[in-house]
Structure formats: structure tokens, C-alpha cells
Structure 1
């Protein structure tokens, strides 16, 4: 059977499976903790909102739910970071499909663990163990690092590379938005078990596509020639270190400084943006919003449509000849304004009308493309390093922001959004 050089279907299915359960994970943990703390069934209503007034019990549920997210991130951070850097860097020799397939397996294990705990009503802290096991297979950063390196192998033109990477971000947003909207109705109609099972099936078929249909772009193996393009090839164990160390080779001091600044901008922006979004669902469950699972699904979809609008923004600005750094700046300002609006949102309408945030994803794809131009001969090392830094900042920021949210939820829940907006000053 003829194989395909199309990684986009993998990204689409993975995004759908991931974000079908993403809004449900925090809600499941929140409801289980609600039951433990209050000894009452979680209030479910067909109205647009349903929750109890602010009280010590509701604040305690919020605090414990945010701390659960903190414990999950802390326990899975180190194995995820190590695996991400090793797999994506090793893909230059072992093949790009390695950092693509292994995270798919890990995510399926994670989803099946939630299905098992939900179906048999086991202790929710067993889910922390499943997060560690999933992290040993990499994660979202590992998967995207492998996909972007795969695309970089196929695209020789810088303009094509920028647009195709932005297209991947757009596809993530489009499918994730559809999945997020579906999650609320799915939960209302069938409970937690069926969405977890559906996500597991999608991931299983995604693994089959990656193994049997996706064509490999790297044909050489670790036993190939010792020297390629005049650069000594490292052993599999040392590939990670060699690839990162060789990134600046052949560039001037000025371009090394530019590369360092771009990496700092990328990681600091990722820290602020992901950290701010990590507590949104808890914020929406609390007074005065008190959103139901339906509204949370729509809210998650709205947050994810920024992938689509950011792709349109990158395409239009690139076509009009707008400088890339200006595109990045516009995206950062978009996040700042959106986070400030969220911090003071007291009504459903205001929470839904965060229009300024629609260009928030532009900096990620543009900065990736800019950095890949500086080190064209070491793209796999670059994407391994970026995946490592992105996983590091995402995991750390989620833990930090959930910790801050647990400490401030009683007096000002929106403080974390103002913190996110303030940290955007760094990039």
C-alpha cells in the first residue's frame, strides 16, 4: 500500500481526541472532590448556570481541585521533559515517526486510566500515577515537535514552511473547537465514560495511521555513515546533546544573540499564555459565572478558535508584507488584552466576548519559522530543544498558576489572569 507524506490528519485526530476530554478532566476531578468535601451530589441543572453561592466549602473545592492539577503537573514534568528532548532529537537518526507514535500511545494510556477510574469509581489520586506513566511516553510537546520536524523535512521554502506550520496550528484549533463543543453535550447525554472511551478509540486508529500509512521522511538509521554533510554523527545516546550543541555552529555572534532572544520570547510567552489558560475552567465553575458543562464546552471551543483566527492573521499579514516581529508583537498584545478582560469578567456575555484574544497563537508559528531560518541544517535539534522548553514552561506554568489560584481564589479569582497579562511584558 502506498504511504502518504501527510502528518496533518494525525494532528487533526490527535487534537480532536485530546480536547474531547480536556474540558472533562477538570470537571470530573472537580465533581469527585465536591462529593468528598460537601458529602452532597454535584448540582446539575438544565439552566445556563448552576452552582452554590460562595462559601468555605465551595472555595475549598476550588482550592483542592487546583492543587490536584498542581500535583499532576509536578509528578509528570521531569519524565515528560527528558523523554521529549531525547525522542525529538533522536528522530534525526531513528526517524520522525518515533516522537509521533510514542506520545499517541501515552495519551491513550492516560485516557484509558480516566475511563477505568470513572467506570469503577476508584480513588482519583490514582490518576496522578497514570499521568506519570503517560509522561514517560512524552506528551503534546513531543508530538508537535516530531510533527514540526516532519514538516521541516518536506518544506524547503521559508514562506511555505511558515504557512504550513501556521496551518497545523489552525487545524489544531479547528478540530479542538469542534471537540470542545461536543464534550459538553456528550457529557450531558452519556456521562464521563463514553467520551473517555471514544477518545481512546480515536487515538487507537491514529496510532494505526502513524504506523502503517504515514511515510517516514528520514531514511537513514543509527548504523548509517558516521559522517554526513561533514558533521560527525553522534551515537543514539549522545544525539540529544550533540544536536543542541551544534545548533549555533556556523552562525555569527549576532545571529546567536538573535536566536537566544527568540527562544526567550517563545518560552516566556508560552509560560504566560498556557499558565493563564490552565485555570479558566475552574474560574468558570465558580461564582458568579457558574457555567454548566454545555457552556464550558462552548467556552473551550471559543478559546481554541484562536488557532483558526491566528492562521488567518498570519496568512493575511504575511501576504501584505508585515514584518514578522510585528506579527509576534500583535499576538502578544492580543493575549494581554484578552487576559485583562477575563480577570474582570462577571457575566457569561463578557466572558464570551474576549475578541482581542483571537490573534493569540500567531507568535508561536511565526517564532518557530524565524528560528528555523537561522539554523536550517539543524532543524531537528532546534525542534527538539523547542519541544523541551515548551514542555518545561507549560508544565511549570500550569503548576505555578494553579498554586497561585489556590492561594488567591478566596479574595480575587481573576488575579491569575492579571499575572498572565503582566508576564507577557517579558516577550
Structure 2
């Protein structure tokens, strides 16, 4: 009797979104380290005679130029496919925003594997990025995951549920990052460095795709629509059920907050990979994996922060705490010169991942459930569009300040994060006014 029950429990778990998240993030974390080390190896002999750069300066410029073009491709191509996939999801095909992007992840990993094994030019990765984007990319995958989380939770518990998703995602990234540096060192002399690491990443993503297609069970009915709607007053947390119509002003302000914060985080973190590979840090593949793991630890601390703080503060205050945590940590990163200083700076980012899932939670409460997936995808597209501006800007600023102050981009990122606190503060005032008006109406 015990064995059948265990089998049934295991099968029930495999039908949930959690195994999908774990397998995908494990594969992605391995892929990220592999791509970074392959790019470093291919750019080691880069030269820019007209710019009179040192060997390390030339390598940094070549790496950042590659990542700029690669990131812009990954962000630009998925814009239209992600919206089409989101509309299919809102029409009842909830599995599509999960499965289709996973096909892109598998193909992208296979492209990197071919680049290493067949000694193809690094520019072939741009073709892989295009295919990845046509499958919707992260811009379709993550809103699809968050939509399933939003529709399976009540408004009062939504921010906590979404933060649980982030926690699981980060925990898987932590494990994958810790293992990635060691797996990178395993290689066959006939195939090249990193082959085993990339192959394992592709296998994990292939298993993830198989699970999403054959086993993943999705709910087509919103929990929000079935819960008791007899309450006339919002609860003490200040959260309100999703309205029948959009609150357009709040939606715009929330998206503005997300765009500013996303630009601050994306601009800084995107260049951190190049920053730690240059002197005086000069990290190895193993240290690089540990650095990624330190970033994934923030998922855990952010989840604990949401669990503790939400008992006393509103979602808006949670967002402000997270933004302040990131701004302080990334400002300290400007002056990092040793590995210990790097980890100290990252420790200040304890709650830096609280804002984005909480913004998504608030955003889902401002629109009807029938358009939740599309709205969250619009948010993701806004973040992608902003990347078309801040990625080249941060890259060029980093290249031009490399000799006199390489950490200047981190100071700039801190300033943008502080500016992002303005629109969310306006949302807080509007929600309080609405709550007060509702109470007066009921009285």
C-alpha cells in the first residue's frame, strides 16, 4: 500500500509547475556559466588597434560588445511572438506559454554545443538567439509561469505565492551555479572545454520540455473568480480583489516602476559578468559559479523578507524595501576590489528580488482575470523594450569608464533604482485614497 501511494504522490508532483521551474533553471544556470566562459575564451585574443587598448581592455570590449548584441537580439525578437503566445494562453491554452519557449531554450543550448564541438564562430550564437526569440523566449515563459501562479491564488496570498515561485527558481539556480564551475572543468580533449557542461544543460532542458508537454497540468479556472466576493471592504493588508475593469493609471505607474527598476538591475547585473573577469578580481570558472550562486541566494533571502515583512507592511512598502536594498548594495559594488568585498556588496542586496514579483502581484489585481496573462506579458514586453535603450547605454558607459572608474555603471544603476521609487509611491497614495473612499461609501 505504501508504494502505490508514493507513486501517486510522485506523479502528482510531476504534474505541477514546480518540476518545470527546477529543471529549466538548472539547465539555464549551467548554460549561463558555459556561455560566459566560452565568450571569454573566444575574446582573449581580440584587438582594437585604433582604440589603443591594452590586451585586457580589448578583451573586455569584445566581451561587452558580444553581450550587447546578444542581449538585444534576445530581447527584441520575442516581442511579437510572446504577445501571440500570451493571447493563446488567455484563451485557455495555458500550457502553450510554457512549452513553446522551452523549445527555444533547448535549441539555444544545442547551438552553443555545436559552437564548441565544431569550433564554429561565436557569432553563430546570434542565430540561436533569434530562434530562441521566435519561440517567445523568457518574455513568454515567465509571464506564463506567473499567470498560473496568479490564477491559482487569492488576492491576499498572491504576493507570497509569486515569491514562492521566485524562491524555487532561485534555489534551483543556486544548485546549478554551484555545480556549473566544477562541471566546466570536466572535458574531453577531442571535443573541447565546457562540452559536458553544455550537454548536461541541454539534457535538463529537454527533460523539462518533455515534462511540460506530457505531464504538466494547468487549471483553466481562476481561484480568484471562485472565492467569496461578499466582502465590501478590503482587508487590512490593503490588497483588493481584481476589478472587473482595468485601473489604467495604476497599471501605467506600476509598469513605470518595473521599467525603471528593471533598467537599474539589468544594466548593472548584465555587466557584472565582465566586471568580475577583469583585474583585480580575475575570476575562474569555479569562482564564477560561486558568484552566480551568491546571486541566487538573494531569492531565498527575498522570500524570507516577504514572509516576515508582509505581516506588518503593505505590498508597496515591500517594493520600496527591496528597491532600497538593491540601491545600497549596487552602490557599494562600485568600489569592489576584492572577492570578499564583492560578496559583502551582494549581501546588501538581501531583498533585491522582492520588487518584481510584488509588482506583478499588484498589477494582476488591477485587471480582470481574463486578461491577466496578456497584461503580465505587456509588462514583460515593456521590460524588453527598455532593454533596447539601457543595454547599449550601460555597455558604452562601461567601456568608456573602464580605465578610470569601472564601477561607475553601478553608481548609475543605484541612482535609477532610487528614481523608480517615485511612481510606486504615487500608487501607494492612490490605493490609500481608494481604500478610504470605499470605507466611506460602506459607512
How big is the shift at 1:393? 3.2
Query: Which of 186, 191, 196 is matched with 1:189 structurally?
Result: 186
Deviation of residue 286 (structure 1)?
0.7
1:26 aligns with 2:36: yes
Higher mean alpha-carbon deviation, 402-411 vs 140-149, is at: 402-411
Superposed CA deviations along residues 95-131 of structure 1, whole A, max 9, x for unmatched, are 1111111111101111111110111111111111111
Equivalent-residue separation in structure 1 for 2:300 and 2:94 (angstroms) = 26
Q: Is the 8 A contact 2:31 2:201 kept in 1?
A: yes
Give 1:94 shift: 4.8
1:24–1:37: structure 2 CA closer, same or farther, 3 Å change rule? Answer: farther
Give every structure 1 segment of 4 or more consecutive aligned residues whose post-TM-superposition deviation is greater than 4 Å.
1-5
Q: What is the aligned residue count?
A: 383
Please, which moves more after superposition, 296-305 or 19-28?
A: 19-28
Q: Is the 8 A contact 2:267 2:394 kept in 1?
A: yes
Alignment of 1:54-93 (within 5 A): 56-93=54-91
Cα RMSD for the two superposed structures: 2.4
Once the two structures are TM-superposed, the CA of residue 356 in structure 1 deviates from its matched residue by 1.3
**In structure 1, how many angstroms separate the alpha carbons of the residues matched to 2:408 and 2:256?**
24
The aligned residue for residue 390 of structure 2 is: 397
Q: Are 2:263 and 1:258 equivalent residues in the alignment?
A: no
Deviation at 1:364, TM superposition (A): 0.9
- Secondary structure at the aligned position of 1:418 is classed as helix
* 1:321 maps onto 2:312 in alignment: yes
CA contact (8 A) 1:23 1:281 kept: no
1:315 Cα offset (Å): 0.9
In 1, distance between residues paired with 2:60 and 2:170? Answer: 28
1:143-182 equivalences under 5 Å are 143-155=141-153, 157-182=154-179
Q: Distance in 2 between matches of 1:399 and 1:305?
A: 28
Mapping 1:117-132, distance limit 5 Å: 117-132=115-130
Deviation at 1:5, TM superposition (A): 5.3
Q: 2:181 touches 2:289 (CA, 8 Å); kept in 1?
A: yes
Matched, 1:341 2:339: no
Change (3 A) 1:379 1:327: same
SS in 2 for 1:34: coil
SS in 2 for 1:305: helix
CA–CA distance in structure 2, aligned partners of residues 18 and 397 of structure 1: 23
Q: Is the 8 A contact 1:73 1:399 kept in 2?
A: no
> C-alpha deviations, 1:258-299, integer Å up to 9, x for none?
221111101211111121100111101111111111111111
1:408 equivalent in alignment to 2:418: no
**Structure 1 residue 424: deviation in Å?**
0.8
User: What TM-score, normalized to structure 2?
Assistant: 0.81
- Closer, same or farther in 2 for the Cα pair 1:398/1:174, shift >3 Å? farther
Residues 284-317 of structure 1 show CA distances to partners (whole Å, capped at 9, x for unaligned) of: 1111111111111111110121111101101111
Show the counterpart of 2:103. 105
The equivalent of 2:287 in structure 1 is 295
SS in 2 for 1:250: coil
* Superposed displacement of residue 184, structure 1: 1.0
Match in the other structure for 1:50: none
Alignment of 1:157-306 (within 5 A): 157-190=154-187, 191-218=193-220, 250-251=245-246, 255-306=247-298
Provide closer, same or farther for how the CA distance between residues 398 and 116 of structure 1 changes in structure 2, counting only shifts above 3 A: same
Residues 320-346 of structure 1: per-residue CA shift (max 9 Å, x gap)? 221221111110111111111111001
Q: Do the aligned partners of 1:184 and 1:297 also contact (CA within 8 Å) in 2? A: yes
Scaled by the length of structure 1, the TM-score of the pair is 0.84
What's the CA shift for 1:400?
3.2
Query: Residue 341 of structure 1: SS of its match in structure 2?
Result: helix
Instruction: State whether residues 331 and 410 of structure 2, in contact with CA within 8 Å, keep that contact through their aligned partners in structure 1.
Output: yes
Q: CA deviation at 1:406?
A: 2.4
Which of 185-194 and 7-16 deviates more? 185-194
Gaps of 5+ in 2: 1-7, 188-192, 222-241, 421-443
Name the CA shift for 1:175/1:321 in 2 (closer, same or farther; >3 Å): same
Partner of 2:25: 15
Which string of whole-angstrom CA distances, capped at 9 and with x for unpartnered residues, describes residues 207-230 of structure 1?
1110111113238xxxxxxxxxxx
User: What are the ranges of 5 or more consecutive residues in structure 1 without an aligned counterpart?
Assistant: 39-53, 220-246
* 1:395–1:294 distance in 2 versus 1, CA, 3 Å: farther
Report SS of the residue matched to 1:374: coil
